[in-house]
Amino acid sequence: MSASGSLQVVRRPHWVNAWVLVPFARPYVRVDGQEHACRWNQPLPIEVTAGRHVIEAFMRYRAIPAALGTGRIEVDVSPGCEVSITARNGWMNHMPFHISATELAQSALR
């Protein structure tokens, strides 16, 4: 049995402000403090060790370094499993991202 698992992170903009966010803001995810740049509506696979991980989702407008709307969740990743994570921003930019997670067994991925 493998001592690692994976995260599949998808960042989705709220329909109210997607017309502004998609062209002008970049989504990010932080896993245990390590930052990863994402793309809106595209999955980002991240390999992790099995165990508990802190996931944070936020965005930055181009040329502005501040992390906006940071949402946070802790997830447990079982060995050999994938956790599907969806992060959606609120309808106003300052609202924290809502993050949900679902673990998929390795056998369900085949």
**pLDDT tens across 23-79, in order?**
999 999 999 999 999 999 999 999 999 999 999 999 999 889 999 999 999 999 999
Q: What is the pTM of this model?
A: 0.86
CATH topology of domain 4-109: Immunoglobulin-like (2.60.40)
What tokens does 101 get? Answer: 């997670």
Model confidence at 2, in pLDDT bands (50, 70, 90)? low
**Which sequence spans correspond to the domains of the chain?**
4-109
Report pLDDT for 104. 74
Per residue in 32-56, is it b (16+ CB within 10 Å) or e — as a string? eeeeeebebeeebebebebeebebb
Report pLDDT for 94. 78
DSSP string spanning the chain? --SEEEEEEEEE--TTTHHHHHHHEEEEEEETTEEEE--BTS-EEEEEESEEEEEEEEEEETT----EEEEEEEEEE-TT-EEEEEEE--SSTTSPPEEEEEEE-HHHH-
